[in-house]
Amino acid sequence: MSTNTSPKPSLAEDFVKFSVEVGVLRFGEFKTKAGRLSPYFFNAGLFDDGAKLGRLAEFYARRLVDSGLQFDMLFGPAYKGITLAAAVSVELARLGHNKPYAYNRKEAKDHGEGGTLVGAPVRGRVLIIDDVISAGTSVRESIAMIRAAGAEPCGVAIALDRQEKATENGADVEWSAVQYVRDKLGLEVIAIASLSDLMAFLDHAADPALAQFKAPVAAYRARYGV
């Protein structure tokens, strides 16, 4: 089955709107890991109660089902990915797609079951699930763990694709972290929404408090976008 890398417009728009409403997506001036001053900030750690996490899982699951991507299980990189993999596994099962999940510990355990991997046996086609891809480091580490277990990573599901240039050795490069994962690591990347969807949301924002950030976000994309 071929995959659909672009989310349905309504799903992406609904996700951006929801993220703004619950304060996960904020506008202002924020310093990124790359040292850039961004006019917006997406903090998935603020999906911090049952209702918000359940709704987030619903967006991930619907996006994955719509994509047509074939996978056997979910893998959540520590730490944010752990909660995401568990929540999305629950929602996929509710939709009739029961998938096992696993995750890693930051440090190996030398008692009990031992090792760094927890959950279902890692096998088959494994989908990595995380909030964003900032530098690709977490993805590379996940790929290594999955392959060491004898399985094959088949893709990465994220909440938001920032569609901006990555940095290497402190300098901007012409590709984004998502493009690096797709083109260099060979994995499909499925995002619920992107910076393009965020800008479309601001284009239609009736609230002047939100509409004022349309120009700063556009300027940021003009400078750092891919």
The residues annotated as belonging to the active site are 109, 111
Give the Cα separation of 134 and 68 in Å (integer). 25
The H-assigned helical ranges of the chain are 9-21, 50-67, 80-94, 137-148, 177-183, 195-203, 208-211, 214-224
In the chain, what are the helix, strand and coil shares in percent, each to the nearest 5? 40, 30, 30
CA of residue 100 relative to chain centroid, distance:
19
Give the Cα separation of 210 and 179 in Å (integer). 29
Give the Cα separation of 226 and 224 in Å (integer). 7
For helices 9-21 and 195-203, angle between their N-to-C axes, nearest 10 degrees: 80
- CA distances, 199 to each of 35, 87, 194, 205 (Å): 22, 28, 9, 10
Torsion of CA 203, 206, 211, 217, to 10 degrees: -30
